């Protein structure tokens, strides 16, 4: 229902806000005229400084994210599984997995990590033994991600970065110097400036076993960050070893120069980091430019320095592109609006009574208060529109929270609530509650062979079939995937023959043939049940017992087949 313009809140306050706008416009005009000339220069310099501080922070955060990725990899099961397998002669006696199986699993995890991070070029797990022999290595070449064969793995014990990594304490992460990646002493083509995030791996006896290393294409990584945050000005990134990256925002390029070929970078570029302050001194004397310098670290503690970032900006260009006038105007507008809000509040306090009542009503609606809110949906102004929208959204959210969106059956949360109420009633009335646990046999094959759309249709039809089997006093739900449950309440205690009849009723009714888009599926189910209070007094106990019986039923059927 549309609200009547005559009763709208906007029409009630427009008179007062109109007066405020006129006053605000006068104040803004005078203020901008007075402060414009003196504030522009200072504001643009401060804005540039703040913007480049943000750039440096984003770069630091990105490198911290690399460290976080390395920490995630260090805690996946194959890391310790490989250690146990190696120490036990190739077989992990705890997890019953061979060394090769653990290596395959870790390679799968490495591949997923490389796929999710386009700037990662290589992930390795290197052991201390055999002169630092690689245990698992997964590479990226362009868009191709592949695992290095065991026979092609090499020893890295003589490399500086490996020696550094093995000296770290447990849980420590460090980044290497940036250089071109090498294999067997040869620089790899194409030449990729690479930084390595390194973390030692310790066994359960707190003895170092090896290292985890992520190789990152610094050029692609840094360029991606600068483009994503919209860096507007040319930037120079000096590494701790004297190499240089130059970012050109107009051409969207990032060029890498080693310290030995910095002459190719052009005139006016400081050749080594010790000349940066001299470069700043020259810039300060030349009033045409502003220079911002930021040091970028790889950790929160600001211990490991990665780059020194320099941003050189022509002042005329800075003023031309900076929105300082607009920002100054907005600042004044905010100040005026604050004064206006005080006046508006005084006059609108009575006008917003209905809105305050609505807010108070919502705040009093708690989890324990399940009765429907008496929202003022009859009002014809904006509060009425809001109340009707809120009423509709509340009902929708309740439905989404309590029912499975695919089958329309109650979900796990709703099922637990109803089963808890049923058990309490059975406890008072001294009756049985029967919980049936239902699982579709070989359902995964339907998804694998025909696709998830067929699988979803099967679940929908099975859910409909299950609802048809249920009687008025019974209820069912979908827990997850192809797992369903049914609950039968108020069963007389001691009538065991009745339990077998119920079991047979569900088994005969649910094991049926379903036709989906011209394809016929004959579904068999695994069915188990538990009885309250014979099999347990809690929901967890009942579900575990029913689940165990269901899996035994599935096992028996597979044996028979």
Q: How high is the mean pLDDT of the chain? A: 82
CB atoms within 10 A of CB 454: 17
| Residue/partner pairs of 153-157 with CB below 8 Å, 24 or more apart | 154/183, 154/184, 155/130, 155/131, 156/126, 156/132, 157/131, 157/132, 157/133
- The per-residue pLDDT for range 49-65, each reduced to its tens digit, is 888 899 999 999 999 99
Bigger pLDDT: 284 vs 299: 299
Confidence of residue 100 (pLDDT cuts 50, 70, 90): very high
Lowest-confidence region among 135-144, 391-400, 519-528: 391-400
CB atoms within 10 A of CB 210: 26
Helix 452-469 vs helix 496-510: crossing angle, to nearest 10:
140
Which one-letter DSSP state was computed for residue 5?
G
Extract the tokens encoding 404.
Answer: 């499975």
Instruction: In whole angstroms, give the CA distance from residue 410 to residue 319.
Output: 61
Mapping DSSP to helix (H, G, I), strand (E, B) and coil, where does residue 267 land?
coil
With CA atoms as reference, report the closest residue to 489 among 542, 422, 438. Answer: 422
At 80 the pLDDT is: 94
At 367 the pLDDT is: 46
Kindly state the average pLDDT of the residues 503-512. 89
Residue 237 φ/ψ, nearest 5 degrees: -120, 110
Residue 137 bridge partners (DSSP): 124
- The per-residue pLDDT for range 108-133, each reduced to its tens digit, is 999 999 999 999 999 999 999 889 99
Confidence of residue 13 (pLDDT cuts 50, 70, 90): low
Lowest-confidence region among 343-357, 412-426, 443-457, 530-544: 343-357
Strand order in the sheet with 483-491: 475-480, 483-491, 432-440, 525-532
Name every residue whose Cβ is closer than 8 Å to that of residue 13 and which is 6 or more positions away in sequence. 344, 347, 348, 351
DSSP collapsed to 3 states, 169-199: CCCCCEECCCEECEECCEECCCCCEEEEEEE
At 277 the pLDDT is: 58
CA angle 445, 450, 455 (to 5 degrees): 70
Alpha helix (H) residue ranges in 237-352? 276-285, 315-321, 324-348
Kindly state the average pLDDT of the residues 186-213. 90
At 1 the pLDDT is: 46
Kindly state the average pLDDT of the residues 205-228. 94
Does 190 sit behind a cis peptide bond, omega within 30 degrees of 0 on the bond before it?
Answer: yes
CB atoms within 10 A of CB 559: 7
DSSP one-letter string for 508-527? HHHS-EEEETTEEEE--EEE
Confidence of residue 267 (pLDDT cuts 50, 70, 90): low
At 478 the pLDDT is: 92
Does 116 sit behind a cis peptide bond, omega within 30 degrees of 0 on the bond before it?
Answer: no
Residue 182 bridge partners (DSSP): 187
Kindly state the average pLDDT of the residues 139-157. 92
For residue 273, pLDDT over 60 is answered with no
DSSP one-letter string for 420-446? HHHHHHHHHHT-EEEEEEEEETTHHHH
Kindly state the average pLDDT of the residues 424-436. 93
**pTM, entire model:** 0.51
- The per-residue pLDDT for range 342-389, each reduced to its tens digit, is 766 666 666 666 666 665 666 566 444 444 566 666 776 666 777 777
Bigger pLDDT: 276 vs 256: 256
At 368 the pLDDT is: 45
At 487 the pLDDT is: 94
For residue 195, pLDDT over 50 is answered with yes
């Amino acid at each position: 229902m549309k609200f009547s313009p005559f009763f709208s809140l906007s029409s009630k306050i427009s008179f007062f806000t109109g007066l405020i706008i006129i006053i605000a416009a006068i104040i803004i005009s005078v203020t901008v005229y007075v402060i414009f000339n003196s504030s522009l220069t200072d504001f643009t310099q401060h804005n540039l400084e703040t913007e480049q501080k943000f750039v440096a922070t984003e770069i630091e955060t990105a490198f911290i994210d690399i460290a976080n990725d390395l920490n995630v990899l260090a805690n996946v099961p194959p890391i310790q599984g490989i250690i146990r397998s190696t120490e036990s002669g190739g077989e992990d006696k705890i997890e019953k997995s061979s060394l090769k199986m653990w290596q395959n699993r870790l390679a799968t995890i490495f591949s997923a990590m490389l796929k999710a991070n386009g700037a990662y070029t290589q992930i390795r797990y290197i052991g201390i033994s055999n002169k630092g022999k690689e245990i698992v290595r997964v590479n990226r070449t362009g868009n191709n991600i592949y695992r290095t064969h065991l026979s092609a793995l090499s020893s890295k014990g003589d490399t500086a970065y490996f020696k550094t990594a093995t000296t770290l304490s447990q849980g420590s992460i460090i980044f290497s110097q940036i250089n071109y990646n090498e294999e067997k002493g040869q620089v790899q083509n194409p030449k990729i400036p690479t930084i390595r995030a390194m973390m030692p791996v310790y066994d359960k006896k707190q003895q170092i076993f090896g290292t985890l290393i992520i190789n990152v294409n610094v050029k692609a990584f840094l360029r991606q960050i600068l483009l994503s945050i919209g860096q507007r000005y040319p930037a120079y990134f000096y590494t701790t070893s004297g190499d240089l990256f130059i970012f050109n925002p107009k051409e969207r390029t990032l060029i890498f120069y080693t310290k030995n070929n910095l002459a190719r970078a052009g005139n006016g570029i400081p050749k080594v980091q010790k000349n940066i302050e001299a470069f700043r001194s020259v810039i300060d004397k030349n009033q045409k430019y502003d220079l911002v310098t930021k040091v970028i670290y790889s950790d929160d503690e600001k211990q490991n320095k990665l780059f020194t970032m320099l941003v050189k900006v022509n002042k005329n260009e800075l003023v031309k592109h900076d929105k300082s006038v607009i920002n100054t105007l907005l600042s004044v507008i905010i100040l005026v609006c604050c004064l206006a809000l005080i006046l508006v509040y005084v006059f609108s306090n009575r006008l917003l009574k209905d809105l305050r009542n609505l807010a108070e009503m919502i705040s009093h609606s708690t989890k324990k208060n399940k009765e429907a809110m008496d929202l003022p949906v009859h009002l014809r102004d904006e509060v009425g529109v809001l109340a009707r929208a809120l009423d509709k959204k509340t009902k929708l959210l309740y439905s989404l929270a309590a029912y499975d969106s695919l089958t329309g059956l109650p979900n796990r949360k709703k099922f637990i609530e109803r089963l808890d109420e049923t058990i309490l009633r059975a406890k008072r009335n001294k009756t049985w509650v029967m919980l049936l646990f239902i699982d579709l046999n070989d359902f995964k094959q339907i998804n694998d062979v025909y696709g998830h759309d067929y699988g979803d249709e099967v679940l929908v039809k099975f859910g409909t079939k299950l609802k048809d089997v249920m009687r008025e006093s019974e209820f069912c739900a979908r827990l997850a995937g192809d797992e369903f449950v049914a609950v039968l309440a108020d069963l007389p205690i001691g009538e065991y023959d009745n339990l077998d009849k119920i079991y047979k009723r569900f088994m005969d009714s649910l094991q049926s043939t379903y036709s989906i888009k011209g394809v016929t599926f004959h579904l068999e189910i695994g069915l188990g049940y538990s009885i309250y209070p014979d099999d347990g007094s809690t929901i967890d106990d009942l579900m575990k017992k029913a689940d165990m019986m269901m899996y035994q039923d599935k096992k028996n059927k597979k044996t028979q087949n």
